[in-house]
A and B are shown apart, each in its own frame.
Chain A
Amino acid sequence: MISFLILMATVVCFSAILALALNFQWGLGGMVNFGLAGLYALGAYSCALLMLKGGANTFFATLGAMAIVAAACGIIALVTLRVAEEDYFAIVTLGAGEMLRLAVLNEDWLTKGALGLTGVPRPLGEIIAPEHYQYFQLGLALGVLLGTVWFLNVIARSPFGRIVRALREDDVVAATLGKHVLWARVRIFAIGGAIIGLAGSFHAFYYQYIDPTQFSNIVIAYAFMAVIAGGRGAHYGTIAGAAIVMVLLEGSRFIKDLIPMLDSDQLAAIRIIIIGVGLILLLIFRPQGFAREYRLQVEIR
């Protein structure tokens, strides 16, 4: 049971990193990302392939995956350089995500298609004894999660963070004030992409086996649910949201014990239905989420 809780906490950690990435792009920057599942897959596969085919160690593979996903996100953001409408951007991200998932499924020579990649190495996997490894993994995941939050907090309070929020509120005003909207957008999306790559790498380390089915729509549904529940723009709220959604998701495995005639496809369908309904209900009744975005506040005495 302890072991289950530790593994669960590790999953929550890297899922929270993914949710933080979406929170930065969408919650802070107002750039909605419907291609999250494909980009997450890109991160996980880049990391795994850099190690398996490129011979990189886990640290450089993670950095490489972050760079690759950041570049992909930057290119996606560049496509919309002439239109400032979020509508088009959402459609482009959706299509790009689908393309990435198709590529993972069809490029057998590289990704082994539906079979998936096995034997992905783990950080310090040879040095640490297998019976202690889960503790180390949780510690590492927690450390990286805290590092990500620290990094995002620094950005959110920096001058660049103010541009990010200004773009979300009104890009025309930001442009009028002399801010380079396109370049800022590319940077926002690329930074988010690097964090998606980080989360994807941890996904690969944790499961040690990746296949295309792990990167289905449930990833998108889960991340949006976590960000909305946590409150758009609120980092700690997003982490809490990610933890709650993940516990609910994992907990829904026990529905099978209650209703035995469901097969695994139906169970997966029920989980997505619950998340989808929850998403809409949250948007209607609690759009601001359960935590608040950081605001610079001054006490007036």
Chain B
Amino acid sequence: MLQTAFNGLITGIIVTLPALSVTLLFGVLKFPNFAVGAMMTLAAYMVFALNVQLGWPLTIATAAVAVAFGGLLIVIDYLTFRPLRQRDSITLMVASLGLGFVLENIARLAYGNTARSFAIELARPFRFLDIRMNREQMITVVVSTLAMLAMYFLLTRMPIGRAMRAVSDNPALALVRGIESPRIIRWTWFIAGMLLAVGGVLIGMDRALEPPMGSSYLIAAFAAAILGGLGSPLGAFVGALIIGIVSELATLVIPPNYRIGIPLCVIALILIFRPQGLFGQPYIRK
């Protein structure tokens, strides 16, 4: 029981990074991005190429890919979403779905469907109060916590983070105050790219690298973001932890194959009882 809850906590921590990207991208661009899962897959395979094929240490490879991937997403946004910026959110969602298919299958084209793993040496799991914790899980906790602290610092203390929150809160007002939205959108993609690259590596360490690895976390990431209130970074963090623990504990009762059903049920329940999420503002349609 305790061990299951702990594993759930780790799952939740892994989901925090994609959930945060979902919520940041939604806040600034105003549509849910369905390509987020495939983006993590592609980034993880890029790290795999540097780490296994070129023999770079995993940390350096991840850092390099995180920066490069942030840049890549700016380019992708320029090519795909920028021409569609003024369209309704359905068009953008469909475009992001198409983009997701493209990115995931680029990874499949390059590396096939076989599961692969990063080059990390095996280590003996730690034991603490009857809880088993292996080294990958420790890395996950440390890396995610650092990323979250960095995000908190960025969003509350740095001008660019405040500008991102302003645009996400009220784009027209932000514009009046002289915040250029194209610049903010570029920064958002860059930051989301870094988060997604790290998230992809953590998923690859937890399970294995295969083309659907990122998309399998997509529903959980959306559920976490909606639970916390779409557009609220703190909410995404709390939501991800709740989703992780609940879905892992649920496997005590339901078959583990249906773990993905839990986030879905959570989404359904929130939409019925509290559509604005735990931390979101009630949304008033004009």
Query: Hey, which bits of chain A sit against chain B, CB under 8 A?
Result: 26, 30, 32, 34, 79-88, 90-92, 94-96, 98-99, 102-103, 105-106, 172, 217, 220-221, 224, 228, 263, 265-266, 268-270, 272-273, 275-277, 279-280, 283-284, 287
Interface pair B101/A91, CB less than 8 Å apart: no
Indicate if B252 sits at the interface (CB-CB under 8 A): no
> Assuming the A-B contacts A34-B97, A90-B32, A99-B260, are A82 and B272 also in contact, with contact meaning beta carbons closer than 8 angstroms in the complex?
yes
Cα A34 to Cα B32 in complex, Å, equals 13
Can you list 16 A-B pairs, Cβ within 8 angstroms, ordered by A?
A34-B97, A82-B275, A87-B93, A90-B32, A221-B97, A224-B97, A266-B112, A269-B108, A270-B105, A270-B109, A272-B102, A275-B98, A276-B102, A277-B102, A280-B95, A284-B83
B84: chain A residues at CB < 8 Å are 283-284
Indicate if B187 sits at the interface (CB-CB under 8 A): no
A106: chain B residues at CB < 8 Å are 255, 257-258
Cα A272 to Cα B230 in complex, Å, equals 30
Cα A172 to Cα B286 in complex, Å, equals 9
A83: chain B residues at CB < 8 Å are 271, 275, 283
Cα A88 to Cα B231 in complex, Å, equals 13
Interface pair B264/A92, CB less than 8 Å apart: yes
Cα A30 to Cα B285 in complex, Å, equals 18
Interface pair A95/B219, CB less than 8 Å apart: yes
B35's nearest neighbour on chain A, judged by CB, is A276
Number of interface residues of B (CB under 8 A): 46
Indicate if B106 sits at the interface (CB-CB under 8 A): yes
> Assuming the A-B contacts A86-B89, A88-B226, A91-B222, are A280 and B268 also in contact, with contact meaning beta carbons closer than 8 angstroms in the complex?
no
Tell me how many residue pairs across A and B have CB atoms closer than 8 Å. 139
B255's nearest neighbour on chain A, judged by CB, is A106
B272: chain A residues at CB < 8 Å are 79, 81-82
Distance in angstroms from A283 CB to nearest chain B CB is 5
Interface pair A272/B268, CB less than 8 Å apart: no
B266's nearest neighbour on chain A, judged by CB, is A95
Interface pair A94/B89, CB less than 8 Å apart: no
Mark interface residues in B130-164 (1 if CB within 8 Å of A CB, else 0): 00000000000000000000000000000000000
A80: chain B residues at CB < 8 Å are 271
B258: chain A residues at CB < 8 Å are 99, 102-103, 106
B80's nearest neighbour on chain A, judged by CB, is A280
A82's nearest neighbour on chain B, judged by CB, is B275
Interchain residue pairs A-B with the least CB separation, the first 3: A279-B98, A276-B102, A95-B264
B263: chain A residues at CB < 8 Å are 95
Cα A85 to Cα B260 in complex, Å, equals 23
